[in-house]
């Protein structure tokens, strides 16, 4: 049969099924169809577009020139709100579905939305060891650029889509936080548009009260329009040691010991039951033992939490060398273990598409 006719037949059957069962039923009970047919292809197009856009803009150095214009645009929106009498509160105009959150804030519908379309890396200053970014720059964008230049953030929250604005105004933590602290602790300057429309820069020395009040303020003090963040030299690999541990006390003790040892650049524990965990400790290195290399971000590799679980089941310690960027985004494909709530066909597609669009 002509493949087009065959496809047409399938589409008609699918539509009939939706008509009989109802769209709500199909979306709720057969989520994977919606995910595979619509959500994933759309998110691939979205990611590829943003990746190419970010790359082109950085190469053309056009972001710094546009930045001032974008800031003026935000100031204009805030001043308009004041002129209108400031009747409602203001909030960022970023829709809830774009954020890494399970909550879709209703306040976005009633408050004055200030559109902050600022998603570019403005400058990488290797002399001062600082990167200056706009608030919608995300972690995937940062590792793609910085790691290729031989630099990285000391604290790199692992999901690609987490943004600098969200991590500063909300919070951010990562497996290197036992050394460097939270995401806000690696920030050296914030630039904000305040409720009167003025632009303010704050650092440890300049407007220091504001500088210390911004983290966790969830946008209540002003709109973040840029941040300067410390960078450190990056290596090619993470040498990761896996250690299965049993017994809650042993798990807590081993995790504390590993965190106190500052030779461990990365410390992470994944707990599989009340009494079973795998503690991982890692260091950056430029050399790797070839037979211990594991490129965990490739699409055919098991999800990271599943891979780690194997060491618990087999009750054995192990050492692996993981490419730095694969390590950083180790939980992106599976969103920790959330993705396992989808059905098997979605598993396969999600793994494949995320590996291609997010990792490499």
Q: How far is the CB of 336 from ligand FAD (least distance, A)?
A: 6
3-state SS class at 284 = strand
Residue with smaller CB distance to ligand FAD, 165 or 282 = 165
Query: Minimum CB separation from ligand FAD for residue 223, in Å?
Result: 4
CA distance 153 to 331: 18
Nearest to 241 by CA among 294, 180, 194: 294
Distance (Å, whole) CA 203 – CA 11: 58
Shorter beta-carbon distance to ligand FAD: residue 135 or 154: 135
d(CA 41, CA 35): 9
Plot region of 307 (φ>0 → left; ψ -120 to 50 → alpha; else → beta): alpha
Could you give the CA distance from residue 94 to residue 320 in angstroms, rounded to a whole number? 39
Q: Which residue is nearest to ligand FAD (CB)?
A: 166
Residues that bind ligand FAD (CB under 6 A): 92, 94, 99-102, 116, 135, 157-159, 162-163, 165-167, 169-170, 172-173, 218-219, 223-224, 335, 338
Minimum gap (Å) between residue 19 Cβ and ligand FAD: 34
- Report in angstroms how near the CB of residue 333 gets to ligand FAD at its nearest: 13
> How near is the Cβ of 103 to ligand FAD at its closest, in Å?
8
Number of residues in the chain: 360
Nearer to ligand FAD, 167 or 231 (CB): 167
Q: How many CB atoms lie within 10 A of CB 208?
A: 11
Closer to ligand FAD by Cβ: residue 81 or 288: 81
Q: Which of these, 193, 197, 188, 189, lies nearest to 222 by C-alpha position?
A: 193
Q: Which is nearer to ligand FAD, 177 or 288 (CB)?
A: 177
DSSP per-residue letters across 192-261: EE-TTS-EEEEESSSSHHHHHHSTT-TTSS-EEEEEEEE-EE--SEEEEEEEEEESHHHHHHHHHHHHH-
Find the shortest distance in angstroms from Cβ 179 to ligand FAD. 15
Nearer to ligand FAD, 82 or 253 (CB): 82
How far is residue 84 CA from its own chain's centroid? 36
- Compare residues 150 and 181 and give the one whose CB is closer to ligand FAD: 181
Decide if 200 contacts 78 (C-beta within 8 A): no
Q: Write down the least CB distance from residue 243 to ligand FAD, Å.
A: 22
What single DSSP character describes residue 355?
I
Q: Which is nearer to ligand FAD, 170 or 323 (CB)?
A: 170
- Kindly state the DSSP code that residue 37 receives in the 8-state scheme: I
What's the closest the beta carbon of residue 255 comes to ligand FAD, in angstroms? 17
What stretch of H or E contains 102? none
């Amino acid at each position: 049969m002509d493949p087009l006719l065959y496809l047409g037949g399938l589409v008609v059957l699918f539509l009939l099924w939706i008509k009989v069962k109802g769209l709500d039923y199909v979306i709720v009970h057969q989520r994977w169809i919606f995910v595979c047919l619509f959500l994933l292809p759309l998110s691939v197009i979205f990611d590829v577009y943003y990746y190419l856009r970010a790359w082109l803009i950085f190469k053309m150095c056009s972001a710094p020139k546009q930045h001032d214009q974008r800031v003026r645009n935000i100031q204009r929106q805030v001043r308009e709100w004041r002129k209108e009498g400031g009747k409602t509160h203001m909030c960022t105009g970023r829709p809830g579905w774009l954020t890494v959150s399970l909550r879709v804030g209703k306040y976005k519908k009633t408050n004055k939305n200030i559109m902050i379309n600022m998603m570019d890396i403005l400058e990488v200053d290797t002399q001062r060891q600082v990167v200056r970014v706009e608030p919608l720059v995300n972690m995937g964008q940062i590792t793609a650029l910085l790691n290729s230049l031989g630099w990285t953030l000391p604290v790199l929250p692992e999901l690609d889509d987490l943004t600098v604005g969200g991590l500063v105004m909300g919070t951010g933590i990562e497996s290197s936080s036992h050394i460097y602290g939270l995401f806000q602790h690696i920030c050296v300057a914030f630039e904000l548009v305040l409720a009167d429309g003025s632009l303010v820069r704050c650092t440890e020395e300049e407007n220091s009260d504001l500088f210390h009040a911004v983290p966790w303020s969830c946008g209540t003090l002003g709109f973040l329009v840029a941040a300067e963040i410390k960078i450190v030299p990056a290596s090619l690999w993470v040498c990761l040691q896996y250690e299965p541990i049993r017994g809650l006390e042993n798990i807590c003790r081993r995790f504390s010991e590993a965190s106190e040892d500052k030779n461990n650049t990365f410390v992470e524990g994944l707990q599989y039951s009340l009494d079973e965990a795998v503690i991982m400790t890692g260091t950056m290195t430029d050399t790797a033992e070839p037979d211990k290399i594991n490129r965990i971000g490739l699409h055919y590799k098991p999800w990271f939490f599943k891979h780690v679980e194997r060491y618990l089941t087999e009750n054995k310690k192990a050492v692996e060398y993981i490419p730095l960027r694969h390590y950083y985004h180790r939980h992106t494909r599976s969103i920790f273990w959330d993705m396992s709530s989808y059905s098997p066909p979605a598993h396969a597609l999600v793994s494949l598409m995320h590996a291609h669009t997010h990792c490499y």
